[in-house]
Amino acid sequence: MTSPLLHVTGLGIGFQARGALTPVVQDVGFTLEKGRTLALVGESGSGKSITALSLARLLPPAARVTGHINFAGDDVLAMSERQLRALRGRKITMVFQEPMSSLNPLHSIERQIGEILELHGTRKRDIRDRVVAALAEVGIPDPAGRLGAYPHQLSGGQRQRVMIAMALVNRPDLFIADEPTTALDVTVQAQILALLKDLQTRLGMAMLFITHDLGIVRKIADDVAVMQKGRIVEAGPAASLFAGPQHPYTKMLLAAEPKGAAPAVDTTRPLLLQTGDLKVWFPVRRGLMRRVVSHIKAVDGISLQVRAGHTLGIVGESGSGKTTLGLAILRLIRSQGPIIWLGKDISSLNSTAMRPLRRDLQVVFQDPFGSLSPRMSVAQIVEEGLRIQNSSLTATERRSRVTAALAATDLDPATMDRFPHEFSGGQRQRIAIARALVLEPKFIVLDEPTSALDMSVQAQIVTLLRDLQARHGIAYMFISHDLKVVKALASDLIIMKGGKVMESGPAAPIFAAPQHPYTRALFAAAFNIEAVSAAEVAG
Amino acid sequence: MTSLAPATRRLALSPINRRRLANFRANRRGWWSLWIFLFLFFGSLTANFWINDRPLLVRYQGQFYLPVFVNYPETDFGGFLPTTDYRDPFVQKEIKAKGWLIWPPIRFSWNTHKLDLPTPAPSPPTWLLSDRTCRPAALLQHKHPPPGEACNALEWNWLGTDDQARDVVARLVYGFRISVLFGLLLAGLSSVVGILAGAVQGFYGGWLDLSMQRFIEIWSSLPQLYILIIVASVITPGFFVLLGVLLLFSWVSLVHLVRAETLRARNLEYVNAARALGLSNNRILFRHVLPNAMVATITFMPFILNASIATLTALDFLGFGLPPGSASLGELLLQGKSNLQAPWLAITSFIAIALLLSLLTFIGEAVRDAFDPRKSFA
């Protein structure tokens, strides 16, 4: 081969704002041959997506690009808008992270895929056949029957398959996948990755794969480039990079996976919380009289126990009802069935009677941006619970408790008068934990507290949570779809699907030998990124 | 935990308010508009002291009088009327004979009719008059021919007079004052009502929300102007009657905005977190939901204030506003329309209204910028 398909040298990207240029990518260079896969790895904000967008010159107008992007012998940076249009969607295609917002909700999938074909000169009468073929290729069942389907009628995995079909229908030379599986459940993620790998071998295209998940990189990539703060800090063949990472950042990334295991179950500790056949059913109303015709069973008969100082892991894919279960236990939504807290049924208490109990039952949510009120300072956010639950405290006492709580979560108490937007995602999650911690609760519901964070930050938060548990003897209910994190924290485990328990019991035996087929499929996908056939998952 | 940050300084500006102030000041146009507006507003509030047909201080027969504050009967100064007209040459002569008096810089009030105009009303600004026009009036006032320019001997009307021989500067200043006060009151009251109604609807939702929405739809389709005309035919529409009637309809404008913001905010995680801390619904609404719904509201506020001022001006212009004879920008505009031969009326009122509304809009833009939490300022 005389020249590589894609050759990038000295790529620099900056954003112009108010006369100042902020560099986001500096001196990036890599080479991609036909038929190979290059993974661009890095944490959020490392500039990997911007780099990918620059390859097809899709950057916003404020961006300033320098360097060389050589694609199949042509300089992309020197191309006219007309030449670029011929390039995009035909030679270079992309798939983005969020399949719901990448598809136009008002167009059928036939129209969306057909549009790309039409733009790049396919004859009208051939379009339908090619769309059907493309859908069959990405494994959509009954492709001819699904042509008229709209994006909302498809599942997340199917939407991503449609996106891939759109990207591949013109047989591109370079396929850019920007975190294509991050928004998907683990079992679906494994299927999509298997599909991508298979299509790449068959079509012989080059693939640029952007991800923050090293497990995926190990599975799919031939070459790896690790990005940090807009620079490539280490690059090389995947096998050698994983075997012997050179750069400290790469080593840190590889070491960042949550480690350690939870202590075994100590049955002598008292029972804190118990539920019996807990149900959350949302009524579906129809007709003029708004009769209840059926129910959406978000949580359908869950019985669980939490012992003091222990962690109960709740695992399930999106839509399995695990968050709803957490909200129901905290009495934040209506539910049926007893919730027994320290021997007393709290399921029928009104909000006034619940108030004194709230100091013992706390919660940390998934989104560290949405869970902190943007108009209150950190001190105000953390002390709010104290104002309600400990109204006798003076301002100084409150302040010192806030200081202690922030220090316990490894935040600098001197920053307590700042506002949430001045903190990073990991720091915000620590603030949310401090807000729960300041009341000295006995039990905290952790609703996916790590899934919005970068891998290395995840590991830090897991360590923090484990330390806090050891020091204060707090019980957790840890809700997550990420089995690696759950494995590091939970002593007991409940696997949920469709609002029902699939498997439950002490965590160690389940991780060692899962019994239920769904659990096995889940574990295979999560730990080995192996796709299991849809039929088995459905079981 | 090494340094316990000081818990005092409760009265000092919190960091976010300091940042808001800095953001506000960074918008130079808004910052200057605020100062100009405050200057004008303060000037109009204190108008009684510098533009009035009563002296600030009178010394008469060894006694002090404060005519700005107290209504003295004319009998105090040797006359026989129940109130004193200090512009009356007889009264002036009497006071000057037995004491002295200090006048404000401009000796007209909004309802002072000037009796010795050099031309028929509306009379042009005095500095536009020729010496020949001024001479007869000056002769009449001073009994003997004035030395030099006859117009200089006259009492000046800087912007002329309206068709009832009232000084335009006085009408303008008092009209400005009543317009701004009316606008502030109406905007403030309708915001309070609108924000509360919107927040309650959005936050509690359900039947309350549905029925109030339907009510608002019916309510806002009532013809406002006709109701005002009907009210005006039954009772004399004074300041507070007008305020009340306009308030009946103007509170609706903010409801939809606040309701939408509250609907969005009540499902955010920090509201759930607050609930998990044991906060009551009202406290969540006022501490967490409303402050975050305020930016959209505050963005809207200057326009509501402008709309309130414009509404009053429009009603006065149509003749359904404040009682006849009141000083108001709309009434001045109406005079300008009826007296096209006297352009100083129309030009003055146009410039005043345009300036007022522009200033308020600029201030509003700066306030909106200041409250944007994600706005960075260099």
Residue B374 has what pLDDT?
59
Region for residue B160 given its phi and psi (left: phi exceeds 0; alpha: psi -120 to 50; beta: otherwise): left
The whole-number pLDDT of residue B356 equals 93
Q: What pLDDT sits at residue B297?
A: 78
Could you tell me the CA-to-CA distances from A107 to A113, A120, A152, A153 in Å, in that order?
10, 19, 10, 12
Query: Both tokens of residue A110?
Result: 């036939």
Q: How many CB atoms lie within 10 A of CB A194?
A: 17
Mean pLDDT value of segment B332-341: 90
Give contacts of B5 with chain A, Cβ < 8 Å. 379, 399, 403, 413-414, 416-417
DSSP state at residue A537 = H
Collect all residues of chain A within an 8 Å Cβ-Cβ radius of residue B280.
351, 355
A332/B275 Cβ within 8 A: yes
Which chain B residues touch A362 with a CB distance below 8 Å? 276-277
Which site among B277, B282, B290 would you substitute to test the A interface, given the most A Cβ atoms closer than 10 Å to its Cβ?
A: B277
Continuous segment of H or E residues that includes residue A250: helix A248-255
Query: Does the pLDDT value for residue B28 go beyond 50?
Result: yes
**Distance of alpha carbon B65 from alpha carbon B86, whole angstroms:** 12
Give contacts of A388 with chain B, Cβ < 8 Å: 277-279, 283
CB contact under 8 A, B1 and A363: no
Residue A1's pLDDT is what? Answer: 46
Q: What is the interface pTM, i.e. ipTM, of the complex?
A: 0.70
Q: Do A384 and B279 touch (CB under 8 A)?
A: yes
For residue B4, which residues of chain A lie inside 8 Å, CB to CB? 399-400, 403, 413
Mean local confidence (pLDDT), B229-249: 85
CB contact under 8 A, A377 and B16: yes
Question: Is pLDDT of B10 > 90?
Answer: no
Å between A519 CA and nearest CA of chain B = 30
CA dist A42 and B102 (Å) reads: 80
Give dist(CA B246, CA B183) in Å, integer: 11
> How many C-beta atoms lie closer than 10 Å to residue A509's C-beta?
11
CA distance A241 to chain B (A): 40
Q: From the list A362, A376, A388, which residue is nearest B279 (CB)?
A: A388
What tokens appear for A299 in the block? 């949580």
- pLDDT of residue A534 exceeding 50: no
Question: Which pLDDT tens digit goes with each residue over B129-152?
Answer: 888 888 888 887 777 777 777 787
In angstroms, rounded to a whole number, what is the distance separating the alpha carbons of residues A461 and A107? 42
| DSSP secondary structure, A475-508, as one string | EEEEEES-HHHHHHH-SEEEEEETTEEEEEEEHH
Q: Which residues of B touch A370 (CB under 8 A)?
A: 268-270
Nearest-CA residue of chain B relative to A441?
A: B277
Of A423, A372, A425, A314, give the one whose Cα is nearest residue B272. Answer: A372
SS3 category, A315:
strand
Confidence band for A356, pLDDT divided at 50, 70 and 90: confident
d(CA A209, CA B176): 66
CB A100 within 8 A of CB A149: no
Tell me the chain B residues in contact with residue A354 when contact means C-beta distances shorter than 8 Å.
278
User: Contact at 8 Å (CB) between B187 and B304?
Assistant: yes
CB contact under 8 A, B4 and A413: yes
* Strand locations in A409-469 (E): 443-447
Amino acid identity for residue A31 in this structure:
T
Chain B residues with CB under 8 Å of A375 CB are 16, 291-292, 373
Average pLDDT over residues B249-273: 86
pLDDT of residue A160: 87
Residue B14: list chain A partners with CB under 8 A: 377, 417
pLDDT tens-digit map of A431-454: 999 999 898 899 999 988 887 777
Report the residue of chain B nearest A439, measured CA to CA.
Answer: B277
User: Is it the case that residue A287 has pLDDT exceeding 90?
Assistant: no
Question: Which residues of chain B make contact with A359, given a CB cutoff of 8 A?
Answer: 278
Nearest CA to B160 out of B150, B149, B170, B168 is that of B168
Residue of chain B minimizing CA distance to A404: B1
Nearest to B268 among A355, A370, A396 (CB): A370
Q: Nearest by CB to A417, from B1, B5, B291: name it.
A: B5
- Which pLDDT tens digit goes with each residue over A141-176? 888 888 888 888 888 888 888 988 888 888 899 999
> Does a cis peptide bond (omega within 30 degrees of 0) precede residue A338?
no
Of A363, A403, A418, Cβ closest to residue B1: A403
The predicted structure's pLDDT at residue B283: 86
Q: In what order do the strands lie in the sheet with B63-65?
A: B63-65, B57-60, B99-102
Average pLDDT over residues A252-280: 80
Query: CA-CA distance, B99 to B76, in Å (whole number)?
Result: 13
Minimal C-alpha gap between A49 and chain B (Å): 23
- Residue B91 pLDDT grade (very low, low, confident, very high; cuts 50, 70, 90): confident
The yes-or-no verdict on residue B270 having pLDDT over 80 is yes
Q: How far is B378 from chain A (nearest CA, A)?
A: 9
Mean pLDDT calculated for residue range B304-318: 89
A421 burial (CB, 10 Å; 0-12 / 13-18 / 19+) is exposed
CB contact under 8 A, A332 and B280: no
Task: Show the tokens assigned to B216.
Answer: 């608002």
pLDDT at A536 over 50: no
- Going by pLDDT thresholds of 50, 70 and 90, the confidence category of residue A531 is low
Task: Identify all chain A residues contacting B277, using CB atoms and an 8 Å cutoff.
Answer: 358, 362, 384-385, 388-389, 435, 439
Who wins on pLDDT, B35 or A291?
B35
Phi-psi category of residue A60: left, alpha or beta, with phi > 0 → left and psi -120 to 50 → alpha: beta
The residue behind tokens 């000057």 is B96
Using CB atoms, which residue from A367, A372, A416 is nearest to B5?
A416
Q: Which residue has the tokens 């009719």?
A: B113
Given a cut of 70, whether residue A2 has pLDDT beyond it is no
Distance from CA of B108 to the nearest CA of A (A): 50
Listed range (A445-454, A509-518, B288-297, B307-316) with the worst mean pLDDT: B288-297
Whether the Cβ atoms of residue A199 and residue A234 lie closer than 8 Å to each other: no
Q: Is the pLDDT of residue B118 over 60?
A: yes
pLDDT in tens, A385-433: 888 888 888 888 889 999 999 988 888 888 888 888 778 888 888 899 9
pLDDT tens per residue, range A15-61: 876 667 888 899 999 999 888 999 998 887 788 888 988 988 888 87
**Residue A477's pLDDT band (cuts 50, 70, 90):** very high
Rounded (10°) CA dihedral B49, B54, B57, B60: 180
Q: Is A183 helix (H, G, I), strand (E, B) or coil?
A: coil
Q: What is the pLDDT of residue B351?
A: 94
Residue A120 has pLDDT above 90, yes or no: no
Distance CA A75, CA A530 (A): 39
Band (pLDDT 50/70/90 cuts) for residue A483 is confident
pLDDT digit string (tens) for A222-243? 999 999 888 899 998 988 888 8
Contacts of A379 in chain B (CB under 8 A): 5
Q: Is A104 helix (H, G, I), strand (E, B) or coil?
A: coil
- The pairing of beta strand A475-480 with beta strand A311-315: parallel
Contacts of B274 in chain A (CB under 8 A): 373, 384
| A20, closest residue in chain B (CA to CA) | B378
Are the Cβ atoms of B278 and A354 closer than 8 angstroms?
yes
- pLDDT the model gives residue A529: 67
CB A329 within 8 A of CB A477: yes
Residue-level pLDDT at A532: 56
> Is the pLDDT confidence value at B177 over 80?
yes
Under an 8 A CB cutoff, do A374 and B378 touch?
no
**Closest-CA distance of chain A to residue B15, Å:** 7
Provide the pLDDT for residue B172: 93
Q: What percent of chain A shows pLDDT beyond 70?
A: 96
Report pLDDT for B193: 92
- pLDDT, average across residues B188-200: 91
How many whole angstroms from its chain centre is CA B308? 10
pLDDT category at B354 given cuts 50, 70, 90 is: very high
Predicted local confidence at residue A539, as pLDDT: 37
Distance from CA of B374 to the nearest CA of A (A): 8
DSSP state string for B209-261: HHHHHHHHHHHHTS-HHHHHHHHHHHS---HHHHHHHHHHHHTHHHHHHHHHH
8 Å CB contact between A455 and A257: yes
Q: Categorize the per-residue pLDDT at B7 as very low, low, confident or very high, splitting at 50, 70 and 90.
A: very low
Task: For residue B263, give how far its alpha carbon lies from the nearest alpha carbon of chain A (Å).
Answer: 15
Of B270, B272, B373, nearest to A332 by CB-CB distance is B272
- The pLDDT of residue A224 is 92
Residue whose entry in the numeric block shows the structure tokens 């050179």: A246
Q: What mean pLDDT, rounded, does chain A reach?
A: 85
CA distance B220 to chain A (A): 27
